[in-house]
Structure 1
């Protein structure tokens, strides 16, 4: 029996899902760690990105923060936290993941607001809108697609990386992989990896749909759909015109 067959058996055992410390409990911990980390990054990065974009003096700061944050591995932060008062566990992982999630949200927010046409801002001010009203009613809807792209990128990265919590005594689906390595159970390792991958893909799809729903303007389905020619439809000629 190969590893994938063992993973299939592991995932189809109801006891592995419902027991204490099982898949459902670990999934809840994984989602909680990821959600808190992304929300913390949102609270920090979105207002900062807007403020820097409004002043027009923050491009250098954004580049430096993004490059420095991306250059520091999450595992290195967890190692530093282990010898600090933060210590081990879910709290250390959540803080490290929040730091990891800031760069894409900050960069996309800054770029999204900076790319709003200056004529649009002036027109809004000419209509009597105050600065905050211009930001909320004009600039934010126009910058929202890029902001949502940054949030989606950060959320998928966080969900995929939250498995590191198992290495510092935390919870989450990474514990399945960690226990599999400890027991040399390759089926359990593959099962844990599949669960993390599926959760990351589900996060991506959910946030694509959310971005599509909240973005103003004409709605187009976010996923490409191929249209089949009906049997009665005229066949196109080489010139592109029906016969």
Structure 2
């Protein structure tokens, strides 16, 4: 029996690069709140919208399933994942390990500080509308900017996955205003400490912030049960 020749290496690399790019786009939709926990993804519709083949889309699904952002149910299809309380605890554990040291060792003149400032201002403007989903996205950008202070491409890439998983937890909660509103001024205070040349104080504030945020999310999540 004649074997089908293997695809050239450059072809496989190109296909993988396309899948990774599409996966990043879907991950951004989770982070932005467009895709919500439990939502079923139609393979046919999504492949048409993204103008890619179903084989490429299945590779995208495999990538995001490994990250915990999607889940595959046999004979039912692919769904946006619904986080567990255990996963929320782990997400905050990882956030403390990455974000707090990143801020403690930050240089106030780093380009990412401008990103932090822009995220704070965007959240304030969106609060006026109000657009609480947008405020949540601005908050995610603020924390992504904190990780960007590390100048580590690996940490930055890893944190995009963490943010997407965290946004899934936020998507389960009934009152995004109660969740996000208190942290608009807190983000501004943390930024102020850093801009005034006191990253250690900013890091202590962030550690307290993350502890309070974790409790708020877990309490809201527990009420869902």
TM-score calculated relative to the size of structure 2: 0.29
Q: Which protein has the larger Cα radius of gyration, Structure 1 or Structure 2?
A: 1
Name the one with the larger strand percent: 2
TM-score calculated relative to the size of structure 1: 0.28
